[in-house]
Structure 1
Amino acid sequence: MIENLLIAWGEGPVLALAGVGVGLVFGAAAERSQFCLRASTVEVAEGHAGPRFSIWLIAFFAALTLTQGLIAAGALDVTAARQLAATGSMSGAIIGGLMFGVGMVLARGCASRLLVLSATGNLRALITGLVVTLVAQAAYSGALAPLREAVVGLWTVQGNGARNLASAIGLGAPAAAFLGSVALSAAIAFARRHAMSYARIIGAAMVGAAVTLGWFATYMIAQNSFEIVPISSVTFTGPATDTLMALVAERNIALSFGIGLVPGVFLGAGATSLLAGAWKLQRFGPDSPMERHLIGAVLMGFGAMAAGGCAVGAGVSGGAILSLTAWVAVAAMWAGAMTTVWIMKAGQSRPAVT
């Protein structure tokens, strides 16, 4: 079937269609489950890990379990994925991850969460997300590119086996899938202990399943195509910049998985929000100062490009295929976010000077 579609339509339209499909699943699941790395880090930093932390754990380990399960079954091969095959950067993962973590707390959402919230009528998220996208483009190929290259070049790691965490620790895909399933079961039990509904648990698991679906869809297209097709999955900073630049600078949009993913997520999140009666216009206000969001957006845009992906692109998609730099990046995001929460809490509790 895929081969027939490729012959009839070509690689670009088929990849875009796959992106839309994966995006619809991710957007709907993320909106209903309220999946958000920032909210998870805030809960943990404040010492009361509960529903939001559970959602992130379920999504992460669902993606890991399903992806490694397909690899173990011989139905998926991700060795050619950029997160494993290309040269990576440990310094970028650490510094960029820390910047992204700080930024998402200030902006009240990571890149994926901002896109989902934008679809529900949140104008704060829309403006913040546009700034993230513009800064990411500047860091990729604009005025900030030399600084990003300097950060990334401090400590690099070769591709292939050197970036494969499973190879480094001698963990095969069957063992990784088993350990992931154990962690997923524990995360679901933790969620039920905090009275989380089965609907939200399923939604969180579907977020992870969408990541696996992205890997599988692009792999199957690559296997059946006569052209070289990159294997990829859900990520937002790069595809968002590609989508924005295509809309404002190109008459003919070069279709790809990422070009389909972004509108797919927006449509999926917006549709579920409307159906649930949750769509509502939200603006900047006294409790959400614009300057804080913009500072956070700048940090996230640059940080994501240095780290090799956003909280989903590096943290979940890269983590699911056991990319070393992805795991380092998401650990740095957690560290940056939690430290920022502690500093902000300390500032709020400090007595005012009279």
Structure 2
Amino acid sequence: MSNALPGSSSVDQAAPSQSESTPAAIARYVVALLVFVALAAGAHLLTAAPGHGSPAAFSLLIGVALGVVFERGRFCFFCIFRDFIEHRNAGPLYAVLAALAVSGVGYAIVFGAFLPNPSSGRFAPDAHIGPVSLALVVAGLVFGLGMALSGACISGHLYRLGEGSAYAPLALAGSLIGFGFGFWSWNWLYVTVVAGAPVVWLPHWLGYGGSLLVHLAVLGVLAFVLLRYVPPLPPRPLRSLNSSYLRDTLFRERWNPLATGALVGIIGVMAYLRVEPLGVTAQLGSMTRTVMDQAGWLPVRLNGLDSFAGCATRVVQTITENGWLIIGLALGSFGAALIAGRFQLALPRAGGSVTSLLGGVLMGWGAMIALGCTVGTLLSGIAAFALSGWVFGAAVFTGVWIGIALRLHRWT
């Protein structure tokens, strides 16, 4: 899965070449093997655990797969957007387009089984189909600014947590605080703009076939327009198809964006079919909501919040299926980073620590108001043929653009 479409910069390429027979390299492989064995054993134990069962086990494994793909393909929305905005390199954007194309086909098939008649006025169960309002636009802009300020999206910080990032814990902690601000501002926004906002789901008018045709046509046009921003392919030396080549291609080099996106799309369809749509903020938001509820800091009623699908939050006393997914994501990324030699602990800088925390706060607020982040509202929402996904995606991209123009990303 070599990088046929070039990445953004040298930091996103393969890990530096080093001997695979040194004690340090062997230790990395042993630890990585133990991590993946422990994850498999944990999934097995979850199938029989009271209150969990197969959905939790499947969510853990889905998270592991997602963490490996995210880490090996460098699938971070901020990095992908930054490469295009700063360097006019659209190569990594094809990972997002491929993920949306593959997941759109899969969602259309799954929707047909869950809701055969989309014109009935009902929505596909649990899909990320949300209201389109000014609050969604503002949430996307704020989320994008938070991405630029912290140096990654929430899912990006989760997989970088597995790489030993010093800033990821601060950004994730900030997102928990941001969710709290989101809960405090929700009722006013709901009454002001959200309650009367339209919920636009394309299959209501075009059916699944027509919606998929429009979906693929839009992605195809974007792919064609972006071709002019794909740099020329670098020359690649001829290599024999041997174990060394396979090792480097699978475990050391950055994966091809098209292959990465296709795998993300397949994982997303499997997650929706078996458990719930992909998303990485439901457990984070639920943690904040639970703490605020126990402390008496929540409003008496969060108007209409629990009636929406997406990365729904609730008061919980245990790890939810989404929680197992993000645990698997971080640990799967950790195992992949160990094998690739990309795991590295470093001390954070003071300025970067502050901006990571503040960026996390902005992302947490945006994710709470938008009912999800770039994986949930954007990726799963667009795959579900929801207009809210496209609106949120455009707002996030604009927010990142503004943040880069203001050079907010230079702090981390």
Q: TM-score, normalised by structure 1?
A: 0.76
CA contact (8 A) 1:101 1:333 kept: yes
1:23 offset after TM fit, Å? 0.8
Q: 1:339 to 1:152 in 2, by over 3 A?
A: farther
Other-structure match for 1:95: 138
Consecutive unaligned residues of structure 1, counting only runs of 5 or more, are: 1-5, 219-231, 349-354
- Aligned equivalent of 1:284: 348
What per-residue deviation string (whole Å, max 9, x for no partner) do you get for residues 71-110 of structure 1? Answer: 35x36776122633xx736132111111001100110000
Alignment correspondent of 2:210: 175
Counterpart for residue 249 of structure 2: none
Summarize deviations over 1:199-241 as a string: whole Å, max 9, x none: 44322221122221111112xxxxxxxxxxxxx3111122234
Checking the alignment, whether the CA contact within 8 Å between 1:50 and 1:194 is kept in structure 2 is no
1:329 to 392, 396, 404: 392
CA pair 40-154 structure 1, distance change in 2 beyond 3 A = farther
**C-alpha displacement at 1:158, in angstroms?**
6.4
Task: Give 1:237-316 correspondences, 5 Å limit.
Answer: 237-242=281-286, 253-285=317-349, 289-316=352-379
Q: Write the distance in 1 (CA, Å) between the matches of 2:374 and 2:47.
A: 35
Deviation at 1:246, TM superposition (A): 8.0
What is the match of residue 48 of structure 1? 88
1:79 to 117, 121, 124: 124
> How far, CA to CA, are the matches of 1:333 and 1:257 in structure 2?
26
Residues 65 and 178 of structure 1 are in contact (CA less than 8 Å); yes or no, is this contact kept in structure 2?
no
**Equivalents in 2 of 1:256, 1:214: separation in Å?**
14
Aligned-pair distance for 1:181?
Answer: 4.8
Query: How far is the alpha carbon of 1:8 from its aligned partner?
Result: 7.0
Instruction: Report the CA distance shift for 1:92/1:13 in structure 2 as closer, same or farther (over 3 A).
Output: farther
Structure 2 residue matching 1:328: 3-state secondary structure: helix
Alpha-carbon distance, 1:11 to partner: 6.6
Share of identical aligned residues, percent?
20
Aligned to 2:391, what secondary structure does the other structure show?
helix
Q: Relative to 1, partners in 2 of residues 1:95 and 1:155: Cα closer, same or farther, differing over 3 Å?
A: same
Over the residues paired in the alignment, what is the CA RMSD in angstroms? 3.6
Cα contact 1:237–1:304 (8 A) shared by 2: yes
Following TM superposition, by how much is the alpha carbon of 1:332 offset from its aligned partner in structure 2, in angstroms? 1.0
- Deviations 1:166-207, CA, capped at 9 Å, x for gaps: 146x33222333454563698499598754976443222211
* CA distance in 2 between partners of 1:171 and 1:302 (Å): 34
Give SS of 1:88's match.
coil
Aligned partner letter, 2:322? G
Equivalent in the alignment of 2:267 = 210
CA separation of 1:336/1:199 partners in 2, compared to 1, >3 Å: closer, same or farther? closer
Aligned partner of 2:202 among 166, 175, 181: 166
Is this contact kept in 2: 1:63–1:212, CA < 8 A? yes
Q: Distance in 2 between matches of 1:118 and 1:128?
A: 10
Worse overlay, 252-261 or 183-192: 183-192
Q: Which of the numbers 103, 109, 115 marks the counterpart of 1:63?
A: 103
Q: Deviations over 1:302-349 (max 9, x none)?
A: 11101111111101011211222232222211111112212328x99x
Shift of 1:245: 8.0
* Deviation (angstroms), 1:297: 1.1
1:111 to 142, 151, 154: 154
AA aligned to 1:204 is G
* Partners of 1:69 and 1:174 within 8 A in 2: no
TM-score (norm: length of structure 2): 0.66
Given the superposition, is the C-alpha separation of residues 323 and 47 from structure 1 closer, same or farther in structure 2, using an over 3 Å criterion?
Answer: same
What is the distance in 1 between the residues matched to 2:90 and 2:84?
8
Q: How far apart are 1:244 and its partner, in Å?
A: 7.7
Where do 1:135-174 residues align within 5 Å?
A: 135-136=178-179, 138-139=180-181, 145-156=183-194, 162-167=198-203, 170-174=205-209
Q: 1:335 to 1:7 in 2, by over 3 A?
A: closer
Deviations 1:144-181 (A, max 9, x none): 5232332343222669xx5243146x332223334545
Structure 1 residues 271 and 194: CA distance shift in structure 2, 3 A: farther
The verdict on how the C-alpha distance between 1:97 and 1:185 changes in structure 2, with shifts beyond 3 A counting, is closer
